[in-house]
Structure 1
Amino acid sequence: MKKYFLPLLLLLPLAMQAQSIKGPYIGVTTQYQNTWIINDEQYEDVNYRHKFTTKWAPFGVVAGYKFNENHNFQVELIRSKQGENFDFVDDNGDKTGEKEIDLVYWNIPVLFKYTTTGRLRFNFHVGPQLSILQKGREENRFSRDATYDRNGSPIPINAGTYVLATTDEAERNRNNSGTPIGGFNKYDLGIALGTGVEYSLNSATYLTANIRYHYNFVNIRDSESQRSPVDPDYYVLRQNMVVGLQLGIHFLFNTGDGETPARHK
């Protein structure tokens, strides 16, 4: 009997680590992310090349409710910097300039979260996401004159910087380049999902590290078809896609029956 009793004594401090199993919680997050603009209608014979683009979602707040050890409902508000950078290439394949799409959203994912039990545990979360645009800008910068092939037609573009779209109404109104400046859709809707780990520091505080993905279904621009004399390509629908590493700290307000031993499954 002694050979079983001693290991039980050694495990008792771990077993007594408290884990609340019911109640509201709040938290703060930050996220480092790889951001994309996906052109649904055109994948081949284009004059641009995707560049690996990373941006920061520096601040997010979380509010949720833990119904029990496994089931949670969670809403977040995240200020997210998104968009993508591209290289332009001419009809010889040589680089001629860059496109930069810079977007800042307030993202509001509404998530159902399933969590395993234990002091160190795993979670999976999924739900819809509403995005509200705070500011946006699409700009082409060409380092030299060049000719591009757009659907079999030659498109000559002179060196220079051209703003194709912006949320700055003053800039749109004072435009004198002769090239129309467009706008962006104010709202976006998509799906968010992710998975990660949680670690309880004590019965009321825990850390999270999640891989978060979201894809939005609404065109980033306020009109569907985009053709411009200062853009080598045309666009029909372009959507946001983001993959990021999210870190957070959360505080749980227990409304259950007090402390319960942490369990592992």
Structure 2
Amino acid sequence: MKKYLLLPFLVLPFLSQAQSTKGPYVGVTTQVQNTWIINDEQYEDVNYKHKFTTKWAPFGITAGYKFNENHNLQVELIRSKQGENFDIVDVNGDKTGEKEIELVYWNVPLLFKYTTTGRLRFNFHFGPQVSFLQKGTETNRLSRAGTYSQKGDQFNVPGGTFLLASYDEEDRQKDSRVGTFNQYDAGIAAGSGVEFDVNSNTYLSVNLRGHYNFVNIRKEENINDKTLPEAQRRDPDWYNLRQNLVIGVQVGVHFLFNTGDGTSPARHE
């Protein structure tokens, strides 16, 4: 029992030793994330089901400045794989195929970050984010023809593999019906996590990070294939607005260029 009573005294030194009160810092990050494409029609009668989709943001760079122990401003550059996979289902609820949306962005969030004090501390961060598309495809793979229902209408869509949209200009030149993606996106990023000082200049971070973007992933304002002749239909759903949503776990290592005021107990190696 006595050894458990000693635990608070063993942990206290780690919590009481603060990092430098101010200075610039840089770092690298990686992130595993759950990615979604949110459709403004998704709560009405649709012909797809969301599938749990995991992507990876393999590489990110962080640069920031600590104004004091608590207040930071940082910018990041993150290569992020996004999109989502869906099951396509017919009027009877039977699976007829799959939709795959693959997107790769450079995400640039500008974040205000608040941190508590201590060698082990918590942080909260939020701010705007802009995104620049690097790659993108939307593909339907329908294993058979099916009958679908939307907004009270029933209609048929033939089977086949259909490239619906592409970032690649060559794909759009080969097929004029292949749509285009918006090359830019914008939204809000936010998260929280913990930081731990390895020494006075280096700390590790583990954050729960999410962002929601406001711009339609496609340039086309309205996509409605059911008005086409049956042989030309390639998608059983109607879309006005689809947006990116990402929630992930971000891990990073950061180096602080120590410019403390000389009063901080940061040098605790």
TM > 0.5 = yes
CA shift in 2, pair 1:16/1:162, >3 Å: closer
Between 204-213 and 17-26, report the one with greater CA deviation: 17-26
Larger mean Cα displacement after TM superposition, 224-233 or 55-64? 224-233
Equivalent residues of 1:106, 1:131 under 8 A apart: yes
Task: Report the Cα offset of residue 31 of structure 1.
Answer: 0.3
Letter in 2 for 1:253: F
Structure 1 SS opposite 2:239: coil
* Ranges in structure 2 where 5+ consecutive residues have no aligned partner: 1-8, 226-232
Question: CA separation in 2, counterparts of 1:85 and 1:12?
Answer: 47
Whichever residue aligns with residue 214 of structure 1, its letter is H
Q: 1:15 to 1:258 in 2, by over 3 A?
A: farther
Higher mean displacement: 233-242 or 219-228: 219-228
CA distance in 1, matches of 2:123, 2:157: 51
Q: Which runs of 5+ in 1 are unaligned?
A: 1-8
Matched residue, 1:32: 32
Look up the match of 1:246.
Answer: 250
Superposed CA RMSD? 1.9
Kindly provide the amino acid, as one letter, of the partner of residue 222 in structure 1: K
Correspondence 1:232 to 2:236: yes
- Aligned equivalent of 1:69: 69
User: Which residue does 2:84 correspond to in 1?
Assistant: 84
Does the CA-based 8 Å contact 1:130-1:188 persist in structure 2? yes
CA apart distance, 1:188: 0.4
- Number of the residue aligned with 1:222: 219
177, 180, 186: which one pairs with 1:180?
177
State how 1:20-169 maps to structure 2 within 5 Å. 20-169=20-169
The alpha carbon displacement at 1:42 in A equals: 3.7
CA 1:18 to 1:90, structure 2 compared with 1: closer, same or farther past 3 Å?
closer
- How far has the Cα of 1:254 moved from its partner? 1.1
Q: Distance in 2 between matches of 1:13 and 1:34?
A: 36
The Cα shift of 1:12 comes to 10
Percent of aligned pairs sharing the same letter: 69
Secondary structure of 2:171 counterpart = helix
Superimposed CA distance per residue, residues 81-107 of structure 1 (whole angstroms, 9 cap, x where no aligned partner): 000000001111100000000000000
CA distance in structure 2 between the partners assigned to 1:211 and 1:10 by the alignment: 27
Contact 1:91-1:148 at 8 Å conserved across structures: yes
Aligned residue pairs: how many? 251
Residues 142 and 65 of structure 1: CA distance in aligned 2, closer, same or farther (over 3 Å): same
In structure 2, what is the equivalent of residue 3 of structure 1?
none
Deviations 1:116-165 (A, max 9, x none): 00000000000000000001110000011111112222221222100110
1:213 to 210, 214, 217: 210
Q: What TM-score, normalized by structure 1, do the two folds share?
A: 0.90
State the one-letter code of the partner of 1:149: S
Cα 1:139–1:10, aligned 2, differ >3 Å: closer, same or farther? closer
- Please give the alpha-carbon distance, in whole angstroms, between the structure 2 residues aligned to 1:53 and 1:131: 20
